Amino acid sequence: MLEVKGLRKVYQSGSREVEALRDLTFTVENGDLVCLVGPSGCGKTTLLRCLAGLLAPTAGDVRVDGKAVDGPPEGMAVVFQEYGRSLFPWMNVRDNVELPLKQKKVPKRRRQELIEQSLDAVGLTGSAAAYPWQLSGGMQQRVAIARAVAYEPRTLLMDEPFAAVDAQTRADLEDLVRELWKRLGVTILFVTHDIDESVYLGQRVVMLSSSPTVVQDELLIDLPADRDQLTTRADPRFIALRTRVYEQIQAAKKNAER
């Protein structure tokens, strides 16, 4: 379970203070898939880095399974937006997936299993020897997902992972995330600026305001668990929900302008 309570982050640069996050409180239950969506520049990345234990918040706290986060928590994996910078170009796909496992002291045979299973799961069977830069953008992000899956996390953070891939690849990767989530029973927090994506993927959508950020609204996505790109996106319920989210985001932007 991921609990965020009263989270605030102020950046100090010289005598100037920039308040990125004002007051954020929300919870992600074990096994949930929650999407965070907000207008661009709403401090999503700051929030994610606080959750991942990469950045110390100014106030408030983040708890993973009841334990306060003061560094990267055990059992958490992160998929970054910039797959091109997050995968290590000096290692081939296998070594990229394997390095975190070695650090976790997973025995060799188990590592081989995990690498194979995770690459199969993301549809990259047989690409273990390739280097990341030999692959397309969508395939690189699949490698990053495979690395996260092989790590066997209880919590998976995804920071706008599909912002830089083309629309068709994106749809495939969205389905991949849903499928992995259902199969692995992992808790996923998915950050995005894409409203449709948040509704399509999430069980719940948390809407953020513009910076300085607060939680604008929360919405339960009561769509059936089996979703697919064609029928779900044409479902009147889907359209009603995306309209709700869209209105809230627009309201958030307007509030910011005032």
Residues lying near another protein in the complex (CB under 8 A): 49, 52-54, 72, 74, 76-78, 80, 82, 85-86, 88-91, 99-100, 102-104, 131, 133-134, 147, 151
Tell whether omega for the bond before 212 is within 30 degrees of 0, i.e. cis. Answer: yes
Nearer to another protein, 131 or 246 (CB): 131
Nearer to another protein, 157 or 195 (CB): 157
Query: DSSP states of 214-258 as a string?
Result: EEEEEEE--S-SS--HHHHHH-HHHHHHHHHHHHHHHHHHHHHH-
Tell me how far, at minimum, the Cβ of 83 lies from another protein, in Å: 9
Angle at 186 between CA 90 and CA 108, to 5 degrees: 45
Nearer to another protein, 164 or 256 (CB): 164
Chain centroid offset of residue 171 CA: 16
Tell me how far, at minimum, the Cβ of 218 lies from another protein, in Å: 26
Nearer to another protein, 148 or 173 (CB): 148
Tell me how far, at minimum, the Cβ of 148 lies from another protein, in Å: 9
- As a whole number of angstroms, the distance between CA 104 and CA 150 comes to 11
Tell me how far, at minimum, the Cβ of 41 lies from another protein, in Å: 19
Tell me how far, at minimum, the Cβ of 203 lies from another protein, in Å: 24
Phi-psi category of residue 256: left, alpha or beta, with phi > 0 → left and psi -120 to 50 → alpha: alpha
Tell me how far, at minimum, the Cβ of 103 lies from another protein, in Å: 5
248 φ, ψ to 5°?
Answer: -65, -40
Nearer to another protein, 52 or 252 (CB): 52
- As a whole number of angstroms, the distance between CA 258 and CA 254 comes to 6
Nearer to another protein, 78 or 201 (CB): 78
- As a whole number of angstroms, the distance between CA 215 and CA 130 comes to 42
